[in-house]
């Protein structure tokens, strides 16, 4: 007898502990109080959770409903929100004190156990000299489960298969309909979870594409340009330098300026081809480095010394030079470029 009585009590209490509503209240200074009611502690994915928040505070204080809603829906950025806000309403009553009632309707998005809280509920004073009041909201854990798969009606037993009958066995029509309904319910649950899963694959694809575009954007352009060989570079520089020297034959340019241009062209060639600081050095400095460099022959050093020194003398009007003198120097530079 006691055993059956115990079973009845366990059954009753287990029913009472399942999916019970949760309420709590807290009080603070200045007559401020907060009451909260959650409609249930256990939900199905198809259910709706109702949260009622009642705030009582002096008329000289105010609240921030947007902050309360943000705190209630707070979740990790690495997953979708476990609850979706379906609807929210506000009711205000003013008498000797301010009474505000906030009502939220939430729909679960994921299966599992999720905490809900309003965090720190702030009451902000309207006077600058008064201090704000904060009441810490308790944390309520919500258990969300999948929609249960149940048969709409008990299976109808089929007739016993006689020993003389062979496979395949034809299933009863009613049983087939029930099995099809169960299969559709399972498919609906799987599809629902897939829709509410965090899109990790899309995030990874977008991140890889973004990293590729950043690498393409900031990678040195030289890495994508074929490197010029030493022989090709020297040939190109000699052709460009020869073309520039030949352009100095055009009339109308003073001889002193022709010498200066010829000197600059040759200096630029030596700087690009042999990495000498020719364009920033004086003639004596450049000739000193040139003579000390074993890469150049005595003929090259003598010819360049003659061209640069004579050019400086003419450029600074230390020596009178005619067009014929310049053509002789110019021809020597062209011969040297053609021989190399």
Residue range 196-228, pLDDT digits in tens: 666 778 889 999 999 988 888 876 655 556 666
Mean pLDDT of 303-309: 79
Most confidently modeled range among 59-73, 231-245, 265-279, 305-319: 59-73
Angle at 77 between CA 75 and CA 81, to 5 degrees: 45
Give residue 196's pLDDT: 62
Give residue 185's pLDDT: 63
Return the exposure string of 219-244: e unless at least 16 CB atoms fall within 10 Å of the residue's CB, then b: eeeeeeeeeeeeeeebeebbeebbeb
Residue 190 has pLDDT above 70, yes or no: no
Q: Looking at per-residue confidence, does 339 or 85 come out higher? A: 85
Residue 153 has pLDDT above 70, yes or no: no
Q: What percentage of the chain exceeds 70 in pLDDT?
A: 71
Q: What is the mean pLDDT of the chain?
A: 77
Give residue 259's pLDDT: 76
Mean pLDDT of 38-49: 89
Give residue 220's pLDDT: 63
Residue 59 has pLDDT above 50, yes or no: yes
Closest CA to 152 of 190, 182, 187: 182
Cα four-point dihedral sign 236, 240, 241, 243: positive
Give residue 170's pLDDT: 58
CA distance 324 to 303: 17
Q: Which architecture, in CATH terms, is 23-145?
A: Sandwich (2.60)
Q: Looking at per-residue confidence, does 202 or 178 come out higher? A: 202
Which CA distances in Å does 235 have to 215, 228, 310?
Answer: 34, 11, 27
Q: Report the range of poorest mean pLDDT among 22-31, 61-70, 203-212, 221-230.
A: 221-230
Report the predicted TM-score, pTM, of the whole model to 2 decimal places: 0.44
Six-digit token string for 99: 């009474």
Residue 158 has pLDDT above 60, yes or no: no
Mean pLDDT of 309-328: 72
The structural domains of the chain, with segments of one domain joined by +, span 23-145, 230-339
Give residue 92's pLDDT: 92
CA distance 160 to 224: 78
Mean pLDDT of 120-128: 88
Mean pLDDT of 81-102: 91
Q: Report the range of poorest mean pLDDT among 19-28, 53-62, 160-169, 292-301.
A: 160-169
Give residue 221's pLDDT: 57
Mean pLDDT of 97-112: 91
Q: Report the range of poorest mean pLDDT among 24-38, 151-165, 190-204.
A: 151-165
Q: Report the range of poorest mean pLDDT among 22-31, 113-122, 191-200.
A: 191-200
């Amino acid at each position: 007898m006691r055993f059956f009585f115990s079973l009845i009590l366990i059954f009753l209490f287990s029913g009472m502990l399942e999916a019970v509503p949760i309420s709590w209240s807290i009080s603070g200074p200045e007559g401020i109080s907060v009451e909260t009611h959650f409609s249930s502690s256990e939900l199905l994915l198809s259910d709706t959770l109702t949260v009622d928040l009642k705030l009582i505070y002096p008329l000289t204080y105010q609240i921030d409903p947007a902050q309360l809603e943000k705190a209630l829906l707070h979740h990790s950025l690495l997953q979708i929100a476990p609850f979706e806000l379906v609807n929210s309403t506000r009711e205000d009553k003013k008498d000797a004190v301010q009474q505000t009632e906030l009502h939220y309707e939430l729909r679960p998005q994921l299966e599992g156990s999720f905490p809900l809280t309003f965090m720190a509920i702030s009451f902000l004073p309207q006077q600058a000299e008064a201090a704000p009041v904060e009441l810490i909201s308790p944390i309520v854990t919500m258990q969300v489960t999948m929609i249960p798969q149940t048969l709409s009606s008990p299976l109808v037993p089929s007739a016993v298969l006689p020993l003389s009958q062979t496979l395949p066995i034809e299933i009863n029509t009613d049983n087939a309909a029930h099995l099809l309904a169960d299969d559709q319910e399972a498919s609906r649950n799987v599809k629902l979870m897939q829709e509410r899963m965090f899109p990790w694959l899309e995030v990874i694809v977008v991140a890889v594409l973004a990293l590729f575009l950043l690498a393409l954007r900031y990678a040195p352009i030289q890495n994508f340009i074929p490197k010029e060989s030493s022989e090709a570079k020297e040939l190109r520089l000699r052709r460009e330098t020869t073309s520039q020297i030949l352009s100095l034959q055009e009339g109308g340019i003073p001889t002193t300026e022709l010498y200066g241009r010829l000197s600059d062209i040759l200096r630029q060639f030596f700087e690009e081809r042999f990495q000498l600081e020719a364009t920033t050095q004086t003639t004596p400095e450049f000739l000193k480095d040139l003579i000390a460099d074993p890469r150049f022959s005595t003929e090259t050093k003598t010819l360049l010394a003659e061209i640069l020194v004579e050019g400086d003398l003419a450029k600074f009007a230390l020596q009178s030079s005619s067009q014929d003198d310049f053509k002789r120097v110019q021809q020597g530079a062209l011969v040297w470029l053609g021989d190399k």
